[in-house]
Amino acid sequence: MTRTPVILDVDTGIDDAYAILFAARHPDLNLLGVTCVDGNTNVDQVVTNTLLVLDAAGVGDVPVARGAVRPLLGKSHYAEYVHGADGMGDLGLPPSARKVDGRSAVELIRDLIENSATPVTLIPLAPLTNIALFLRAFPETAKKLKGITLMGGSASAGNATPAAEFNIWHDPEAAAIVFQSGVPITMYGLDVFMRPGITSGEAERLKKSSDPSGVFAGSLIAAFIERIGSPVTIGDAGAVIAVVAPELITYKKFDVVVDTSSGPARGQTICDRRPPLELDIEPLRLADSANVDVALDLDVEAIRQLWLSTVDSNW
Ligand code: BDR
Ligand code: CA
């Protein structure tokens, strides 16, 4: 079986680290490259964190590129209150000897898509600044994508604000460009994001593994549990699992539009959940909306076990 080619776009980020570990180690995925963006912390720290996570995953040469240093229009709002001052739980992890790729994030995304024999799935786990810039810079290359499966948004409540999820809220203009791009979009958002959780007992078991990847994952989870309590979600890793095991997730198609106003709903992904009566009346349809597969439910236990057994070969 050919492995599914994927590119991750990250703001590493504790749960981005869970996602990178999974993507780098799952046998059905071919992790072509990782691009970094301003989000949970500044982009240089994101690059530093991403390189050391690839070390922990025990993978060979996966190119990592630096991307946008701030959102398209607004200011950066770092999530240090969740991810720590270094974006990785302040564990004092040693820097990697890996080198960052000389290309920018958008150039690396272009080259990896153009050079892939099979259509690539793009997996953004962060504010969508890099992806919007890529779509604007290389629209012909974007047409070759299989699709975009992103962590972001919500069909219900937000987390950064009552209405908006962090990744979308951090750069709503970029998100609007992505959602209006015409590329098939799957949204793994807050309706499911928190549900697959790892307990402190499981983190301690990972820490005792003879697999360095398992030990690394366990240490990160334990640090996160100290910060916010147990259990902790596998977070962004769920969006990668959505690509490799879509049967574990239940989706519904909605017209989705991103709120780019300056009001209290800025960054909301408005999902048109009205009954068919209104949806069939053309003038009542949302303008500029995209028809998106929105994750609404998942098989929590299967997803938890898939993540644990992938990041730790002894699980
Ligand atoms: C998203 O925000 C970030 O803090 C996490 O890494 C995740 O991508 C959740 O809202
Ligand atoms: Ca993230």
128 Cα: distance to centroid of ligand 1 (angstroms): 12
pLDDT of residue 198: 97
CA neighbor of 134 nearest in space, from 157, 110, 152? 110
What CATH topology corresponds to 4-311?
Answer: Inosine-uridine Nucleoside N-ribohydrolase; Chain A (3.90.245)
- Residue 43 clears pLDDT 70, i.e. is over it: yes
Question: Are the C-beta atoms of 83 and 75 separated by less than 8 Å?
Answer: no
Q: Return the SS3 of 275.
A: coil
How does the average pLDDT of the chain come out, rounded?
A: 95
pLDDT of residue 277: 66
Residue pLDDT, tens place only, 162-204: 999 999 999 999 999 999 999 999 999 999 999 999 999 999 9
Q: Looking at this protein, which amino acid is placed at residue 261?
A: S
- Residue 84 clears pLDDT 90, i.e. is over it: no
What are the angstrom distances between the C-alpha of 274 and each of 45, 80, 125, 251, 290? 42, 37, 28, 16, 15
**pLDDT class for 79, splitting at 50, 70, 90?**
confident
Residue pLDDT, tens place only, 115-149: 999 999 999 999 999 999 999 999 999 999 999 99
Domain locations in the chain as residue ranges: 4-311
**pLDDT class for 83, splitting at 50, 70, 90?**
confident
168 Cα: distance to centroid of ligand 2 (angstroms): 11
Neighbours of 161 (CB within 10 A): 15
- Residue 276 clears pLDDT 80, i.e. is over it: no
Averaged pLDDT for residues 238-259: 97
Q: Which atom of ligand 1 is least distant from the CA of 126?
A: 8
Q: Which atom of ligand 1 is least distant from the CA of 125?
A: 8
Question: Are the C-beta atoms of 20 and 50 separated by less than 8 Å?
Answer: yes
* Percentage above 90 pLDDT, the chain: 86
- Residue 212 clears pLDDT 80, i.e. is over it: yes
pLDDT of residue 19: 98
- Residue 256 clears pLDDT 80, i.e. is over it: yes
* Percentage above 70 pLDDT, the chain: 99
Whose Cα sits closest to atom 10 in ligand 1? 166
236 Cα: distance to centroid of ligand 1 (angstroms): 7
- Ligand 1-lining residues (CB < 6 angstroms): 13, 15-16, 40, 79, 82, 125-126, 151, 159, 165-167, 235-236
Q: Is 230 left (phi over 0), alpha (psi -120 to 50) or beta?
A: beta
Averaged pLDDT for residues 290-304: 96
112 Cα: distance to centroid of ligand 2 (angstroms): 21
Strand residue runs (E) in the chain: 4-10, 29-36, 64-66, 121-124, 147-151, 185-188, 197-198, 232-233, 249-258, 269-271, 290-298
Which residue of 40, 149, 228 sits with most ligand 1 atoms within 8 Å of its CB, as the best mutation to test the pocket?
40
3-state helix, strand, coil in the chain (%, to 5): 40, 20, 45
Which residue of 41, 167, 192, 228 sits with most ligand 1 atoms within 8 Å of its CB, as the best mutation to test the pocket?
167
- Residue 230 clears pLDDT 90, i.e. is over it: no
188 Cα: distance to centroid of ligand 2 (angstroms): 12
pLDDT of residue 193: 98
Burial of 230 from C-beta contacts in 10 A (0-12 / 13-18 / 19+) = middle
126 Cα: distance to centroid of ligand 1 (angstroms): 6
Q: Which atom of ligand 1 is least distant from the CA of 11?
A: 6
Counting ligands in written order, the one closest to the CA of 161 is 1
